[in-house]
Every structure is written in structure tokens, then in C-alpha cells.
Amino acid sequence: MTSKGIYKVTRKGVIMTTTLNGMTVPSWASHIEDKLAPMPLLLVQAYVDTLDRDLGTDIFAHADEARAWLADAGLRVPDPDQPEPNFPGFAEDLRLAREVRASLEALIGRDPGDEALTPDDLAPLEQVLRQVQPRLEVAADGQVRLGPDRPARTLPDGLLGLLLIVRDAQADGSWDRLKLCGNPDCRWAFYDRSHSRRGAWCDMASCGNRVKNRNLRARRAQLA
Ligand SMILES: [Zn+2]
């Protein structure tokens, strides 16, 4: 889904759209209404939130929609001079896209002190790393950068970029603010800007109260 808005191409080639509330968000994040992570971590949030359990929608459920979203997000931008892989080729990408999404969800959902991630949690990310390796480069401005080739021509290239965003967020501490909603039926990824960093719900009205009421009913049932 792409919301109506004003589009422009920025220096970095990101197509931005101005939403109704006046906040400027990239078109690939238009499915997130609030609690947005800062750039570039927003890309990881938008990727995980392609699955909306509350609405029962999944951008990766349909090949055409998935292909368009991945291209818009710069995660898979096939060379226009090369013919696109036909459907069986993209079906493989689609499987990887969904599995990596589940892995990222496991990474975000793991709190310090939780049990270690399982080999199953990590396998899709390891598959990405087997297929493409980061490249270290010294840019003309003297900055040492780690990154995939740009633009990401293949999905593993793009997903490597996503992993590097995770790594940078873990280094600067912003990763700890990216959380999954505490409602097990929701698990929407949101960015916790609260001072206490103890936000637990994507939205208090829709998830927080729902779970609290459910717990209250369960406790009352136990007491009855
Ligand atoms: Zn929620």
C-alpha cells in the first residue's frame, strides 16, 4: 500500500512521501503509523512490520506486492538491463525474505538475560552471510565504511545491508529501543522513545488494554 502524498527523490535516492500528519516518511514505511524508529533503523522496523498480525495482512504474501516493496525499500533492485528472474527464482527470494523476517523478529524480541537464540532462529541470517560478504572500503572523505555493493541487485545483498543497520544500531544503543509489542497476537515492531524505555505495547488502547483486561479476566477466573 502506498499512501497518497508528495513524492521526491532525495540525494540518497530515497523516495519520500509526506503523510497527512505532516511527518515525512519514506514510502516503504507508509504501513507504520507511529512509534517510528529513526533512519536507517526504520528500514529494519518496516521490514519486520510487513507482517501485520492484527489486520491479518502480509506484504510478503503476494509475489507482486513483495517485489514492489523490496524494490522501493532498495533491498532488491534488479539491474534493468538484466531480465528479472522468472517466478521460480523470485519464489526462492520470497521464502528467504519471510525467513529473515522471522529471524529479525527473534533478534528484536530477545531481551538481555533471555535464552540464547536457537540455530533455527539464526539459520536464515547465516544463509544471507554465506551468499554475500560485507566489503570494507575507505571512501574519498577518509571514512572507513562497511557495506554491500550499491544498489542491492540481489535480495541477499539487500539483506546484508539490513544486517549492517542492525549492527550499527547495536553499537549506538538505539537497537534496545526497537521492541516487539507485548501482545502475543500482535508482536508489531515499534520504537520506544519513552524516557524510562519501558514501553511494552505498540499501542496502549489496542494492545495494552486488551492484554491487561485478558490477564485480569484470567485472574478473576482463577479466584472464582
Ligand atoms: Zn500491539
Q: What is the pLDDT of residues 85-97, one digit of tens each?
A: 655 678 999 999 9
Task: Give distance in angstroms: CA of 205 to centre of ligand 1.
Answer: 9
- pLDDT, residue 16, reads 61
- pLDDT, residue 155, reads 95
Cα(162)–Cα(40) distance, integer angstroms: 9
Task: Give distance in angstroms: CA of 33 to centre of ligand 1.
Answer: 12
CA distances from 189 to 21, 57, 94, 210, 212 (A): 21, 15, 20, 17, 19
CA distances from 10 to 15, 17, 152, 174 (A): 7, 11, 18, 24
Task: Give distance in angstroms: CA of 141 to centre of ligand 1.
Answer: 43
51 beta partners: 58
Q: What are phi and psi of 146, to 5 degrees?
A: -120, 125
Kindly report the pTM of this predicted structure.
0.85
Report the candidate in 49, 57, 38, 55 with the shortest Cα–Cα distance to residue 181.
Answer: 49
- pLDDT, residue 81, reads 83
pLDDT in tens, 143-183: 998 887 678 989 999 999 999 999 999 999 999 999 999 99
Q: Locate the DSSP E strands across the chain.
A: 7-9, 15-18, 24-26, 51-52, 57-58, 135-138, 144-147, 178-180, 189-191
Task: Give distance in angstroms: CA of 155 to centre of ligand 1.
Answer: 28
Task: Give distance in angstroms: CA of 88 to centre of ligand 1.
Answer: 34
Task: Give distance in angstroms: CA of 154 to centre of ligand 1.
Answer: 32
Task: Give distance in angstroms: CA of 171 to centre of ligand 1.
Answer: 27
Task: Give distance in angstroms: CA of 78 to centre of ligand 1.
Answer: 34
- pLDDT, residue 10, reads 46
Report the candidate in 103, 157, 165, 169 with the shortest Cα–Cα distance to residue 133.
Answer: 157
Cα(54)–Cα(103) distance, integer angstroms: 20
Answer yes or no: are the C-beta atoms of 149 and 124 closer than 8 Å.
no
Q: What is the pLDDT tens value at each position of the chain, 224 positions in all?
A: 333 344 444 444 455 665 545 667 899 999 998 899 999 999 999 999 999 998 899 999 999 999 999 999 999 998 888 777 655 678 999 999 999 999 999 999 998 899 999 999 999 999 999 999 888 999 899 999 888 767 898 999 999 999 999 999 999 999 999 999 999 999 999 999 999 999 999 998 889 887 778 787 888 887 76
Task: Give distance in angstroms: CA of 219 to centre of ligand 1.
Answer: 21
Task: Give distance in angstroms: CA of 150 to centre of ligand 1.
Answer: 34
Angle between helices 87-109 and 63-72 (to 10 degrees): 70
Task: Give distance in angstroms: CA of 106 to centre of ligand 1.
Answer: 16
Q: What residues have CB less than 8 Å from 138, skipping those under 6 apart?
A: 144, 145
